[in-house]
Structure 1
Amino acid sequence: MDLGLKGKTAVITGGSVGIGLAIAEGLAAEGANLILSARGRERLDAEAVRIAAKYGVSATAVESDVATVEGTEAIIAAAAERGGADILINNAGTGSNETVMEAPDEKWQAYFDLHVMAAVRLARGIAPQMKKRGGGVILHNASICAVQPLWYEPIYNVTKAALMMFSKTLSTELVKDKIRVNCVNAGLILTPDWIKTAKQLTAATGGDWEGYLQSVADEHASSKRFGTPEELANFFVFLCSDRSSYSIGSTYFVDGGMLKTV
């Protein structure tokens, strides 16, 4: 199936590892050129070079912290230098671990900057580029935790819920410019962070990190397994394409049956 993405330019934050990297590869396989953002220069550069060589596309690395104004401005400028972007994937983010009673203001603000303000700032800078190019797609990688929270990460839950509402609000503002905005709420996706955490939690009890992850899947997902970054990326790539042209302002759950409500 030709998704019509050849020659498009896609900006992906958190694009050097995990879900962001899988989305980058999925788009590159369809012929899209990439602008990848992440904080770690060495890995970011290596992945950009690898993807460009493998798929025959352009892949630009932008070292930046999207939780800062300077970081988002660097990405916007890089896209402008290449004629503008057609696709923006707001993917950068990370889990938290705290209680509401104990978490300081600074931690709340840091996560709000990372999960929400990064998306706001990038939309303000890149949507005008899309408008000049005749339209585009903006996708937000939120989380099932936006509607079905986990008790141990209240800040993550709240900021991902805010990102989901921002996505909906932005969609109504940009639809007139032929820019489609949608949100994806993923469930359990086997990222390197999950593996790292599982290894840390089981180090003192025999190191059965795979068994730990299986127990998490058994508890939360009807499918009894984690999804792969590639499985989630396939859905993102579809939403980037004209095959999803009537998908506007929605939130989609890709969670292996984890969501318990209708």
Structure 2
Amino acid sequence: MDLGLTDRIAVITGGSIGIGLGVARAFAREGANVLIAARDRERLDQAAAAISRDFGVEAVGHACDVATAEGCASLVAAAREVFGGADILVNNAGTGSNETILEAPDEKWQAYWDLHVMAAVRLARGFAPMMQARGGGAILNNASICATQPLWYEPIYNVTKAALVMLSKNMANEFIPLGIRVNAISPGLIRTPDWVKTATQLTGADKAEEYLQSVADEHAPIKRFGSVEELADFFVFLCSDRASYSVGATYFVDGGMLRTI
């Protein structure tokens, strides 16, 4: 299936590892040029070089912290300077949390709000005019199943990802007259380096796989974690012309983990 992404410009935050890197590689495989953003410059440069080498597209890394207004502004400027704008924005940067509401300080709430919500606001505000000038585009916000079905140990993550879903709906309504489609994705259990790291820390390297399988058995009827590549394919489809009627929706990619309809 031709997704019509050849020579498009895709910007992906949190793009040097895990889901973000998988999404960047999936776009590149379809012929899109990519601008990946993250804080670790060395890892970014390595990831961008590998993408260019493997797929023959232009891949550029930009080191910044999108949890700050300055970092968002620098990414918008980089897209304009390097590619003359962008057609696709994937707001993927984020991380899990671990706290209780009674004990978590205000500063932690604010940090996650800035990373999960304000980054998407600021980047959309910066990229939407460029997309409109180029004839339209797509914005995809990476939320989480926890926005709808929360896990008990990460209330800040649950709340800020739920806010991102609502933000996506409002963005969709506001931006569709500009020719910009906005959607959200709520992944379930996806096997990322963070999950492997957590399992190893909790149980040791020799029992990490057993732990991950127990998590999948408990939460996902499909009885396994999804791969980054499986999820990335769906990201890319939603940002392509093949999904031109998909607007303002949240899509669950969770192996049946969601327990409601």
TM-score of the superposition, structure 2-length normalised?
A: 0.99
Equivalent runs, 1:64-75 vs 2, <5 Å: 64-75=64-75
Quote the residue 1:179 is aligned against.
180
User: Equivalent residue of 2:90, what SS?
Assistant: strand
User: Equivalent residue of 1:208, what SS?
Assistant: helix
Quote the residue 2:110 is aligned against.
109
- State the shift of 1:207 in Å: 3.5
User: Partners in 2 of 1:132 and 1:122 — Cα distance?
Assistant: 16
Q: Which amino acid aligns with 1:38?
A: A
Q: Which amino acid aligns with 1:9?
A: I
- State the shift of 1:53 in Å: 1.4
User: Equivalent residue of 1:219, what SS?
Assistant: helix
User: Partners in 1 of 2:216 and 2:98 — Cα distance?
Assistant: 19
Identical counterparts, % of pairs:
68
User: Equivalent residue of 1:98, what SS?
Assistant: coil
User: Equivalent residue of 1:225, what SS?
Assistant: coil
Quote the residue 1:4 is aligned against.
4
User: Partners in 2 of 1:200 and 1:180 — Cα distance?
Assistant: 40
Quote the residue 2:120 is aligned against.
119
User: Partners in 1 of 2:240 and 2:126 — Cα distance?
Assistant: 22
Q: Structure 2: which 5+ residue stretches go unaligned?
A: none
Quote the residue 1:254 is aligned against.
253
Quote the residue 1:245 is aligned against.
244
Q: Which amino acid aligns with 2:65?
A: D
1:213-239: CA deviation from partner (whole Å, max 9, x where unpaired): 000000000000000000000100100
1:129-184: CA deviation from partner (whole Å, max 9, x where unpaired): 00000000000000000000000000000000000000000000000011000000
1:72-117: CA deviation from partner (whole Å, max 9, x where unpaired): 0111001111211000000000000000010000000000000000
- State the shift of 1:71 in Å: 0.8
User: Equivalent residue of 1:256, what SS?
Assistant: coil
User: Partners in 2 of 1:243 and 1:170 — Cα distance?
Assistant: 20
Equivalent runs, 1:85-104 vs 2, <5 Å: 85-104=86-105
User: Partners in 2 of 1:3 and 1:223 — Cα distance?
Assistant: 28
Equivalent runs, 1:71-82 vs 2, <5 Å: 71-81=71-81, 82=83
User: Equivalent residue of 2:71, what SS?
Assistant: helix
Quote the residue 1:221 is aligned against.
220
Aligned length: 260
User: Equivalent residue of 2:260, what SS?
Assistant: coil
Equivalent runs, 1:34-183 vs 2, <5 Å: 34-81=34-81, 82-183=83-184
User: Equivalent residue of 2:57, what SS?
Assistant: coil
